[in-house]
């Protein structure tokens, strides 16, 4: 599949849908990306006449080339990760300013725009890196809830600088985890026989 994307070469394959039905697909592959533990192909479904997303573990059998290399063009603005997020999430889109420890948060860096220091302060004061050596990036996500999950998955290596709504969502989820794991008070027990 990667070769098909890199060479802009159409493919055909059998694909098992969500309900288990298997159909033959003819696709112009545009990109491959990982999202929440699965690999996805984005591309133009020739038979349906529209862009589609395919989960790669649902491709059955072998993939065959179905045309010459360079026989179509991949849209310049195509962002496979954003397309997958949008097609699977259906939630509220968000543009976020995130702080990332250097060398960390690589999944979030893909498709993100690194913000130079002079630009961060104009977007939102909370985006300014201050005295830290963290990288500041702008991420556009199709679903605020999914982005919050992604941020939480990186632990202390990622912090939400803006917007406040996303930062509050992350805080609420962290508080829910803390609350769920707080140990209930255990009452003192006494030996029924009076001995300790």
Instruction: Please check whether residues 97 and 143 belong to one and the same domain.
Output: yes
- Does residue 9 have a pLDDT over 90? yes
Q: 137 and 161: one domain?
A: yes
- Whether 62 and 94 share a structural domain: no
Between 190 and 32, the more confident residue is: 32
Average pLDDT over residues 75-103: 81
Q: Are residues 68 and 114 in the same domain?
A: no
Q: Report d(CA 85, CA 36) in Å as an integer.
A: 10
Domain count, the chain: 2
* Contact status, residue 17 vs residue 23, Cβ threshold 8 Å: yes
Q: Using the structure block, give the residue that is written with the tokens 């889109």.
A: 93
Sorting pLDDT into bands at 50, 70 and 90, what band is 91? low
Looking at residue 36, the DSSP 8-state letter turns out to be T
41 within some domain: yes
d(CA 69, CA 26): 15
* For helices 80-89 and 144-153, angle between their N-to-C axes, nearest 10 degrees: 120
Beta-carbon contacts of 166 under 8 Å, excluding residues fewer than 6 positions away, are 94, 96, 144, 147, 148, 151, 160
On whether residue 187 sits in a domain, the answer given is no
Range of the structural domain that residue 161 is part of: 90-181
User: Looking at residue 34, what is its pLDDT?
Assistant: 85
Domain C-terminal end among 50, 76, 102 = 76
User: Can you tell me the distance from the alpha carbon of 3 to that of 5, in angstroms, rounded to the nearest whole number?
Assistant: 5
At 105 the pLDDT is 87
Looking at the domain assignment, is residue 81 inside a domain?
no
Quick one: pLDDT band at residue 86, thresholds 50, 70, 90? Answer: confident
Residues 152, 69 share a domain:
no
Q: Is the pLDDT of residue 66 over 90?
A: yes
- pLDDT tens digits, residue range 126-184? 565 554 678 888 888 767 888 888 899 889 999 998 898 899 999 998 888 888 878 66
CA distance 119 to 3: 38
Q: Which residues neighbour 174 within 8 Å (Cβ) at sequence distance 6 or greater? A: 152
Q: How far apart are CA 79 and CA 63, in angstroms?
A: 23
CA atoms of 182 and 179, how far apart (whole Å): 5
């Amino acid at each position: 599949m990667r070769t098909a994307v890199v060479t802009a070469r159409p493919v055909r394959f059998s694909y098992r849908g969500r309900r288990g039905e298997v159909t033959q697909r003819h696709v112009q592959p545009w990109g491959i990306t990982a999202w929440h533990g699965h690999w996805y192909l984005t591309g133009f479904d020739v038979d349906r006449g529209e862009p589609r997303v395919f989960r790669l573990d649902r491709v059955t059998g072998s993939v065959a080339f179905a045309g010459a290399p360079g026989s179509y063009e991949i849209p310049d603005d195509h962002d496979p990760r954003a397309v997958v997020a949008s097609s699977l999430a259906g939630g509220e889109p968000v543009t976020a300013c995130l702080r990332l420890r250097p060398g960390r948060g690589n999944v979030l860096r893909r498709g993100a725009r690194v913000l130079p220091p002079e630009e961060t302060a104009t977007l939102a004061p909370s985006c300014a890196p201050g005295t830290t050596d963290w990288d500041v990036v702008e991420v556009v996500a199709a679903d605020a809830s999914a982005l919050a999950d992604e941020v939480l998955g990186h632990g202390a290596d990622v912090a939400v600088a803006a917007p406040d709504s996303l930062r509050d969502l992350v805080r609420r989820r962290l508080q829910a985890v803390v609350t769920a794991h707080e140990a209930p008070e255990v009452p003192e027990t006494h030996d029924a026989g009076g001995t300790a």
